[in-house]
Amino acid sequence: MKKLLFWLILVLLLSGAMSAANGNPAQDIRKLEPAKVETPPVLDGSLDDEAWKKATVVDDIWITYNPVNGNELPQRTRAYLAYDEHNLYFAFHCLDSEPGLIKTSLTRRDNMFDDDWVGLSLDSVGGRKYGYEMFVNPSGAQGDIFRTGDMEDSSSDWVWHSAGRIVDDGYIVEIRQPLKSIRFASGKDVRMGVLFWRRISRLGMSGSWPHLVPGRSIGGSQAEMRIAELQRHLVLEALPTLTYSSGWNRLSPSSWSGADQTRDLGIGVKYGITSSIIAEATLNPDFSQVESDALQVTVNQRYPILYSEKRPFFMEAGNLFDLAGVGDGLGNMTLPVHTRTIIDPQWGLRLTGEQGRGSFALLASADRSPGNPWNGEENPFLGRKATFWIGRGKLGLGGDNYIGMLYSGREFGEEYNRALAADFSLRFLKNHQLVGHYIQSFSELPGEGGKVDGGCLTVEYAFSKGNSLALAMVENIDPGFRMDTAYYQRSGISSAKFYLQQRFVPDAQKLPWLLGVTPQVYGAYIHDKVSGMDDLELMLQLDTNFILKGSAGGYVYFGQECWAGEKFRRTLGHGYANLQPFKWLNLHTCYNFGDAIYYDTVDPFLGHRSQLHSCVTLQPTRKLNLFAEHTISRFRRIDTGEHVYTQGIWRGRLTYQFNSKFFVRGLVQHDSFTRRVLGDFLASFTYIPGTVLYLGYGSLNESRSWADGAWQRGVTGDYYYQTRQSLFFKVSYRYQF
């Protein structure tokens, strides 16, 4: 094994050196000055408007960044830029030699990334710290992402408009971005950054203009866009929301309870203090989940499961609070601010903005959940609220380098948790980057030990050049470290990790179907400060990419994991495959198997676990989409062969999109371990983000028996009963003054 690892690392390093000599196609990168137009273009998927005839045009080659970096994108793309006093305008003519193979669908927002698409990343303030990313498929369906550094968050939605249409030689997309929906530095000689990108679905290729150079951030790769003058517009919005729900519980096989009704009226207000500083407030906000959390394998998990944020107020620009050195999968700290820790908000305040080289974000909220009534017990904290106070600041150091600070605190009576963090991100010598953060926490926990303090230090180095990538990270987390706003897995550890990746690009003339082969190596040493025991990890991985949006690969994992004072040797295997054989069919499957620990704190043991996940997406027409997935996880004890558990999860979703604003969806989820079936029907109309109408019906079915006047589980003759049903209605309106 040592020899194998030595030769694999050597091959990676040598191939990285050889790939440095490979040149990339040359692009004509220049400063862009959008043309000012008097008459705005009509968004109809046509370039016949006078505005587009006057627009600034980028007609150049685009260079791929995925799955391989540095090749010329096979199909040509032209981009058009214009503006007026109220909007920025962009258009794209995406040429395609086989327009019949263009993949598109009429779908809801952020659900079009499996299609062909084109779009842009817009740094509207010009500070290289943030970016608005907009994507449009050939049917005009939108996807948007708010970027902080190189961290992207697709949960943010803002108001912009688009249209798309397939034409004889490809497809055309038009975009109108209202200035009042984005931050920018108003005045004369306004400077922004812009980067265009395009995805060709059937080839599995993405390209950009300018080139996304490895080792350089998205903001650092953008072309400069200069506008002679832009004036500030009044940004004042009100967002009233009405939510009504009604639920019924089955009391017996033949009777139901009365309706449990809930009516909530909330309001949100947004005001632009300047063109780049925005203040927001919300009272009794709507935090109902229109899209419920997808079922996951929950049996025998060592760490809590991470569920993404789905609540509108917190979703907007939620990644503003990220720290350097988190979110890449190496570090223990995943999210320093995970707003789902604010369970039942009563109110919320937010102030965000950018001024000169500095930027900031402030968030405050009151959480009613600690004071909510308990089932069957008296809550001694009934009616009391916890308050959250979070602040983030960054100072640019030139380019996309910065230093920053973060404060996060949760206060609940005499109990508190406060954390103060500093972070930095530095790029140097073109291909090198050093990032890191230090967090110091201070906690007062009455009844749990009183005052507890601790620190968390993470430093990461990255080298990226051509198709080569190397990462190394060290971290140290004290046993007393605690951060109530964050999602992280462990405290009381010291660790060192490394990751190496080299992508090989075969000769397109000899192997036109194979796009890239990528071997990878990952290793980790983790010392537990409390037990004094060590975890060891080594993973060897190989990925391949090919045409028809295909990929396949797998890894082998060797490790030592410590749990409850015992050491366990583990070997795992994993394989996967993805394919889009037709533009109406997507396939995915993965299988992992090997040694696993049964995480019992008293009697842990080693077992064999296997898990198979498969999913299929059918798009028979532009408007109809069927998605189905199945996951089955099995565990048996190695020493006795005893079967411990099997958990199977099945999920199906059928969606019909009448037009870009209105869809209906049916969803069914089944968990064989808990023996529950969830059903959900939703009709949704979204005029613009914030102006929405939802009507939903939910059903819960559970395996139970009725005996001696009560519900029981696990009794012979269990039957699936519908135990709860509910109706849901929501309407909100974004009023822009």
Domains of the chain (ranges plus CATH)?
A: 29-230 (2.60.40.1190)
**281 has a pLDDT exceeding 60:** yes
And the tokens for 259?
């309706």
Mean pLDDT of 72-101: 96
In sequence order, what are the residues at sequence separation of 6 or more whose Cβ sits closer than 8 angstroms to the Cβ of residue 377?
A: none
pLDDT computed for residue 716 by the predictor: 59
Mean pLDDT of 399-421: 94
Segment 477-495, tens digit of pLDDT: 999 999 999 999 999 999 9
Continuous H helices in 295-352 = 312-315
Helix (H) or strand (E) holding 394: strand 386-396
pLDDT confidence bin for 14, thresholds 50/70/90: very low
pLDDT computed for residue 5 by the predictor: 47
Residue that is written with structure tokens 């006093």 in the block = 85
Pairing of the two strands 35-36 and 77-83: parallel
pLDDT computed for residue 331 by the predictor: 86
Q: For residue 514, give Cα distances in angstroms to 76, 507, 550, 573, 654.
A: 21, 9, 9, 24, 33
Mean pLDDT of 241-248: 92
Continuous H helices in 253-383 = 312-315
pLDDT confidence bin for 163, thresholds 50/70/90: very high
Q: Are 166 and 99 in contact (CB under 8 A)?
A: yes
And the tokens for 231?
């004036």
Q: Using CA atoms, how far apart are residues 187 and 179, in angstroms rounded to an integer?
A: 13
pLDDT computed for residue 399 by the predictor: 81
Mean pLDDT of 560-578: 96
Mean pLDDT of 143-157: 84
Mean pLDDT (the chain, rounded): 90
Q: Are 452 and 443 in contact (CB under 8 A)?
A: yes
**20 has a pLDDT exceeding 50:** no
Q: What is the DSSP secondary structure assignment for residue 72, as one 8-state letter? A: B
Segment 28-60, tens digit of pLDDT: 899 999 999 999 999 999 999 999 999 999 999
More confident site: 504 or 708? 504
Continuous H helices in 317-377 = none
Q: Are 409 and 421 in contact (CB under 8 A)?
A: no
**590 has a pLDDT exceeding 90:** yes
Least confident of 188-197, 218-227, 298-307, 443-452: 298-307
Radius of gyration of the chain (CA): 27
Q: Are 549 and 116 in contact (CB under 8 A)?
A: no
Segment 596-631, tens digit of pLDDT: 999 998 999 999 999 999 999 999 999 999 999 999
For the four alpha carbons of 50, 53, 58 and 61, in that order, the dihedral sign comes to: positive
Q: Name which of 359, 363, 355 is nearest 403 in CA terms.
A: 359
**284 has a pLDDT exceeding 80:** yes
3-class state of residue 709 by DSSP: coil
Mean pLDDT of 626-637: 96
CA count, 13 A, side-chain hemisphere, 364: 9
Give Cα 312 to chain centroid, integer Å: 15
Q: Are 442 and 454 in contact (CB under 8 A)?
A: no
Predicted TM-score (pTM) of this structure: 0.87
Q: Using CA atoms, how far apart are residues 702 and 675, in angstroms rounded to an integer?
A: 6
**405 has a pLDDT exceeding 70:** yes
CA count, 13 A, side-chain hemisphere, 216: 15
And the tokens for 471?
């990462």
Q: Judging by beta carbons within 10 Å of its beta carbon (0-12, 13-18, 19+), is residue 13 exposed, middle or buried? A: middle
pLDDT computed for residue 17 by the predictor: 41
Mean pLDDT of 148-174: 90
pLDDT computed for residue 213 by the predictor: 87
CA count, 13 A, side-chain hemisphere, 114: 25
Question: What amino acid occupies position 706?
Answer: W
pLDDT > 70 in the chain, percent: 94
pLDDT confidence bin for 18, thresholds 50/70/90: very low
Residue that is written with structure tokens 């002679």 in the block = 228
Residue that is written with structure tokens 């090749």 in the block = 71
pLDDT confidence bin for 364, thresholds 50/70/90: very high
For the four alpha carbons of 162, 166, 167 and 169, in that order, the dihedral sign comes to: positive
**722 has a pLDDT exceeding 70:** yes
Mean pLDDT of 412-439: 94
More confident site: 101 or 299? 101
Residue that is written with structure tokens 């400063």 in the block = 31
Length of the chain: 737
Segment 187-232, tens digit of pLDDT: 999 999 999 999 999 988 999 999 998 888 888 899 999 999 999 8
Continuous H helices in 208-322 = 218-221, 312-315
In degrees rounded to 5, what are phi and psi of residue 606? -90, 135
In degrees rounded to 5, what are phi and psi of residue 562? -105, 135
